[in-house]
Structure 1
Amino acid sequence: MKYVIGVDLGTSAVKLLLVNKNGEVAHEVSKSYPLIQEKTGYSEQDPEEWVSQTTAGIAELIETFDGEINDIEGLSFSGQMHGLVLLDENNDVLRNAILWNDTRTTKQCQDIYDQVGKEKFISITKNLALEGFTLPKILWVKENEPDTYQKAKTFVLPKDYLRYRITGKLQMEYSDAAGTSLLDVGSKKWSKEICDLLGIDISICAPLVNSHDNVGKITADFSNQTGLVATTDVFAGGADNACGAIGSGILSPGKTFASIGTSGVVLSYEENGDKDYEGKVHYFNHSAPNAYYTMGVTLSAGHSLNWFKNTFAEDEDFDTLLNEVGTVPVGSNGLLFTPYLVGERTPHADSSIRASFIGMDSSHKRKDFARSVLEGITFSLNESIDIFRKSGKTIDTIYSIGGGAKNEEWLQMQADIFDAKIVKLTSEQGPGMGAAMLAAFGSGWFSSLEECADAFLTEAEVYQPNKENVEKYEKLFKVYKQVYVQTADLNKQLMDFRN
């Protein structure tokens, strides 16, 4: 039996999947690493942690593997998007990586519009200039750490740096490059116009490759440290959401998924890069060949649930915390939560907005709060689905992956709030499976990613929307959308009181 490895470099941990030719996960290893959050809005990581934990994880995977090591033919990557890794002339890291959920760059986003022009910027990149994206981080370093910036010869994103350490070769692939705000998304090339207008030398941008491209073999050193054979092929990989799309079979028009991890994502397949969403949602290059996708993002999806658990039920597991959610009626007895713990991205690109519980009274129990958190996260994702539908897209089936696919009550809630059939796949691996599928396709196991998806992915459960609940949630969704409008200015005023 032949195998590939999918490396999913997440925000809190790297997950490694050993997948066989039938699409079965033979073994899985996860290795965590810390966030560095020195100030409100700051979020960084030491790239060396990604390398050391991935190396240790693959070594553990190989140690427990009872087959022939030569049968592991290749590996590929899924990675957290947007993070800035600055490298010097020797490709050594100059500073901690600034991550996707870092929001210090509001000023730099405005600078981009002032110097490039908002309409021109969106026409090239297909997206707004947002704090989480890579370009504003580059400009922040340029302005606030000029000595570091002067030493920078290249920048890459997290999984691209990890791949460099494994192969010794430096590239960036299109699906992650699309999230830097420096790629001409439609033309699939770095934008010299944006670089010139912002005083950035375009040579800082790494060479571009396709997600399924074979970019070399692992180094002898990495082979010695992990036990993988030195002939193991390495494939470029993709952004976590693009890989999540592949791992959910979002490979043809009309297909959509909802992923609830630390952040939440609604993603829908696009055949080409010429639609105009006016920056209301993200529009990126897919990891599937010659394809694109639109995407809306909730910054604090699973993070909101983690925060609630750690604050109010630290010693309990999630199953216990959510055990009584099903006994609470639609609308959580009049309690509404907005998941803006670290700001929001879609449809409100706002780093100042913060979360709210609206409608609290003394009759509410913890179970009401727990359900309202789940409902609030799902309402936020529904705002993106609403934008897709208003643009003319038909969305009647949504594949649910991540933490939101682990709880039956939450899956039914998604069906009711989204007013769509929710499909849970047998594999919940999402991005990690997508990375493995890129390696399988790249290794020649299948003639296309679609063929690979047919072989690897199976539907496990289907949840149909409940008409009565749909009608109640439609009314509540209108109330939910008012909360942002009525609290945005209040939260800006409260910024002066935050540390």
Structure 2
Amino acid sequence: MNYIGIDLGTSSVKLVLMDTAGHIIANVSKSYPIDYPKAGWSEQNPYDWYDACMEGMKELLDGQDESTVSGISFGGQMHGLVILDKNDEVIRPAILWNDGRTTKQCEYLNEVIGRDKLSEYTANIAFAGFTAPKILWVKENEPDNFAKIDKIMLPKDYIAYRLTGVHCTDVSDASGMLLFDVKNRRWSRQMLDICGVTEAQMPRIFESSECVGTVKKDIADELGIGSEVIVAAGAGDNAAAAVGTGTVGDGHCNVSLGTSGTIFISSKEFGVDSNNALHSFAHADGKYHLMGCILSAASANGWWMDKILGTNDYAGEQSQITDDDLGNNNVYFLPYLMGERSPHNDEFARGTFTGMTMDTERKDMTQAVLEGVAFAIRDCFEVAKSLGIRVESTRMCGGGAKSELWCKIMANVLGIPVELLESEEGPAMGAAMLAMVAAGEYNCVEDASNALVKVRKTIRPDEKIIERYEDKYNKFRCIYPAMKNVFRTINE
């Protein structure tokens, strides 16, 4: 039998058709627009997501035997606020994870309600991208829309609702809302009260590999599949990517270089970083994970290549950078183009180049962008190390993982081996695996990951390059504290 994995990303939806042996039979990508109504705002139309998903599934199944499809599941961009009225119509465009309008609401939550209380209720504190501050923003700025809210959902869950008619979410995605009691895997009544919403307005909570329902007959007929096809709850994009890279169980690590960048460490036990610099979330494998998230990763490189250099020859630009250059560049880049989440939690932070001289070349700037993202990931890695977490190696996924140069930089900046996988489908593959577990093909998520995820290559760090990067990283760490007040001043 075959399974559809849907990765509802920020700029596009990626879909895979995968068999039970982990072979990718077909894949499709469909893009949709992002709106930026004001500086720092980021919105999308959920109807665009649904249309892209339906078109993508039709194209994915074109020429295939539709009768072999047994299940569908999702990975999805996290934190986005989707609000529906009593007729299940979308009230306003979804406010996305990288939207920075909630400064006032985050300050209220963190300073008035208090970080300690938030951490007690949800295991996390307020970040600008989280869902709860967005709800408060709508309540304060769009009271008429707030009054219409009948259901609050996350992006991928809106697609699950359209396919099944069930208002649902999963534990990993719910963890990023600041409305979820992560330790006990239930809605936090205290946080719902603080935001002025009720549990009846929230979707039903499922584990990621649980079946939420079957595809509605009209949708099944439109796609040419059976109405008995099950739909699993799925996971937030990073948890789904972790499943797709085998980052399940205890003490495993994955670095994702997508639009945003994450370092994801799986754990069998619940734990909280006392400074809340890392997120403490429920994992799609039924356990927990710690995660650091930087808001600009592959998107920072895309900005540099597309908008500044005006080229799509990413490989050509990187080919000029040699091993001898690694750790020997005098240019530094802060990749805070959308503000920053982990570990700084500073929506005012901005991107900067530092250290240019008259002999600085184009390739030095390109290298600095790649290194800046790696250093920002290292910032999160250092927090995990300070908690006594020992990470022996990491796997890589996301668009940036297709660059072996970037993976080599990451290996030497972190000082651990980097494993590259046979399949780089990330959240879409993880989503298909969750559907397999829901359908009974595997007993649990860990069994599915162990059976289907294969390493094709390991990049090992070089001691000489590690030493050079250790010096560079210590200098990089000085730049943000020196610029912090400047960032706030220029954004006033």
TM-score, structure 1 normalization: 0.96
In structure 2, the residue corresponding to 1:179 is in which secondary structure?
helix
Structure 1, 102-111 or 270-279: larger mean CA deviation: 270-279
Q: In the alignment, what sits opposite 1:144?
A: 141
Q: In the alignment, what sits opposite 1:317?
A: 313
Is residue 195–residue 201 contact of structure 1 (8 Å, CA) maintained in 2? yes
Is residue 116–residue 198 contact of structure 1 (8 Å, CA) maintained in 2? no
Q: In the alignment, what sits opposite 1:62?
A: 61
Q: In the alignment, what sits opposite 2:51?
A: 52
What amino acid sits opposite 1:420 in the alignment? I
Is residue 70–residue 229 contact of structure 2 (8 Å, CA) maintained in 1? yes
Matched, 1:185 2:182: yes
What amino acid sits opposite 1:436 in the alignment? A
User: Which structure 1 residue ranges, 4+ long, deviate > 4 Å from structure 2?
Assistant: none
RMSD, aligned α-carbons: 1.3
Is residue 135–residue 195 contact of structure 2 (8 Å, CA) maintained in 1? no
**How far off is 1:311 after superposition?**
2.0
Indicate how the Cα distance of structure 1 residues 487 and 328 shifts in structure 2: closer, same or farther if over 3 A, else same: farther
Is residue 167–residue 217 contact of structure 1 (8 Å, CA) maintained in 2? yes
CA deviation map 1:80-128 (0-9, x unaligned): 0000000111111000000000010010011123442221111221112
Paired with 2:246 and 2:122, the residues of 1 have a C-alpha distance of 26
- Unaligned 5+ runs, structure 2: none
Equivalent pairs counted in the alignment come to 492
Match of 1:389 among 385, 396, 401: 385
What amino acid sits opposite 1:199 in the alignment? G
Is residue 110–residue 125 contact of structure 2 (8 Å, CA) maintained in 1? no
Indicate how the Cα distance of structure 1 residues 421 and 315 shifts in structure 2: closer, same or farther if over 3 A, else same: closer
**How far off is 1:401 after superposition?**
1.0
In structure 2, the residue corresponding to 1:35 is in which secondary structure?
coil
Indicate how the Cα distance of structure 1 residues 274 and 353 shifts in structure 2: closer, same or farther if over 3 A, else same: closer
Match of 2:262 among 256, 262, 265: 265
After superposition, residues 460-499 of structure 1 pair within 5 angstroms as: 460-496=456-492
Structure 1, 487-496 or 219-228: larger mean CA deviation: 219-228
Is residue 81–residue 153 contact of structure 2 (8 Å, CA) maintained in 1? yes
How many percent identity over aligned positions? 37
Q: In the alignment, what sits opposite 1:287?
A: 284
In structure 1, the residue corresponding to 2:176 is in which secondary structure?
coil
Is residue 86–residue 150 contact of structure 2 (8 Å, CA) maintained in 1? yes
Is residue 283–residue 293 contact of structure 1 (8 Å, CA) maintained in 2? yes
Match of 1:164 among 161, 164, 176: 161
In structure 2, the residue corresponding to 1:250 is in which secondary structure?
coil
Structure 1, 268-277 or 252-261: larger mean CA deviation: 268-277
CA deviation map 1:123-179 (0-9, x unaligned): 221112011000000000000000000001110000000110011111111111110
Is residue 45–residue 98 contact of structure 1 (8 Å, CA) maintained in 2? yes
Structure 1, 138-147 or 440-449: larger mean CA deviation: 440-449
**How far off is 1:198 after superposition?**
4.0
Structure 1, 186-195 or 327-336: larger mean CA deviation: 327-336
What amino acid sits opposite 2:109 in the alignment? I
Match of 1:155 among 141, 152, 155: 152
Paired with 1:316 and 1:71, the residues of 2 have a C-alpha distance of 38
After superposition, residues 431-470 of structure 1 pair within 5 angstroms as: 431-470=427-466
Q: In the alignment, what sits opposite 1:352?
A: 348
**How far off is 1:385 after superposition?**
0.8
Is residue 328–residue 368 contact of structure 1 (8 Å, CA) maintained in 2? no
After superposition, residues 251-262 of structure 1 pair within 5 angstroms as: 251-262=248-259
Is residue 286–residue 292 contact of structure 1 (8 Å, CA) maintained in 2? yes
Match of 2:368 among 369, 372, 382: 372
Q: In the alignment, what sits opposite 2:30?
A: 31
Q: In the alignment, what sits opposite 1:412?
A: 408
What amino acid sits opposite 2:110 in the alignment? Y
Paired with 2:277 and 2:323, the residues of 1 have a C-alpha distance of 36
Paired with 2:328 and 2:93, the residues of 1 have a C-alpha distance of 42
What amino acid sits opposite 2:403 in the alignment? N
Q: In the alignment, what sits opposite 1:303?
A: 299
Q: In the alignment, what sits opposite 1:337?
A: 333
What amino acid sits opposite 1:343 in the alignment? G
**How far off is 1:332 after superposition?**
5.2
Paired with 2:422 and 2:345, the residues of 1 have a C-alpha distance of 34
Paired with 1:272 and 1:316, the residues of 2 have a C-alpha distance of 44
Paired with 1:138 and 1:125, the residues of 2 have a C-alpha distance of 16
Structure 1, 346-355 or 310-319: larger mean CA deviation: 310-319
Paired with 2:221 and 2:47, the residues of 1 have a C-alpha distance of 18
CA deviation map 1:205-242 (0-9, x unaligned): 22111111111111122123222222211111010011
TM-score, structure 2 normalization: 0.98
What amino acid sits opposite 2:469 in the alignment? Y
Structure 1, 359-368 or 79-88: larger mean CA deviation: 359-368
Structure 1, 190-199 or 14-23: larger mean CA deviation: 190-199
In structure 2, the residue corresponding to 1:333 is in which secondary structure?
coil
Paired with 1:457 and 1:114, the residues of 2 have a C-alpha distance of 43
**How far off is 1:484 after superposition?**
0.5
Q: In the alignment, what sits opposite 2:426?
A: 430
In structure 2, the residue corresponding to 1:51 is in which secondary structure?
helix
Paired with 1:150 and 1:254, the residues of 2 have a C-alpha distance of 44
Paired with 1:113 and 1:345, the residues of 2 have a C-alpha distance of 14
**How far off is 1:328 after superposition?**
6.2
Paired with 1:228 and 1:30, the residues of 2 have a C-alpha distance of 20
Is residue 125–residue 276 contact of structure 2 (8 Å, CA) maintained in 1? yes
Q: In the alignment, what sits opposite 1:40?
A: 39
Is residue 116–residue 194 contact of structure 1 (8 Å, CA) maintained in 2? no
Is residue 126–residue 278 contact of structure 1 (8 Å, CA) maintained in 2? no
Paired with 1:197 and 1:170, the residues of 2 have a C-alpha distance of 22
Q: In the alignment, what sits opposite 1:75?
A: 72
Indicate how the Cα distance of structure 1 residues 340 and 328 shifts in structure 2: closer, same or farther if over 3 A, else same: farther
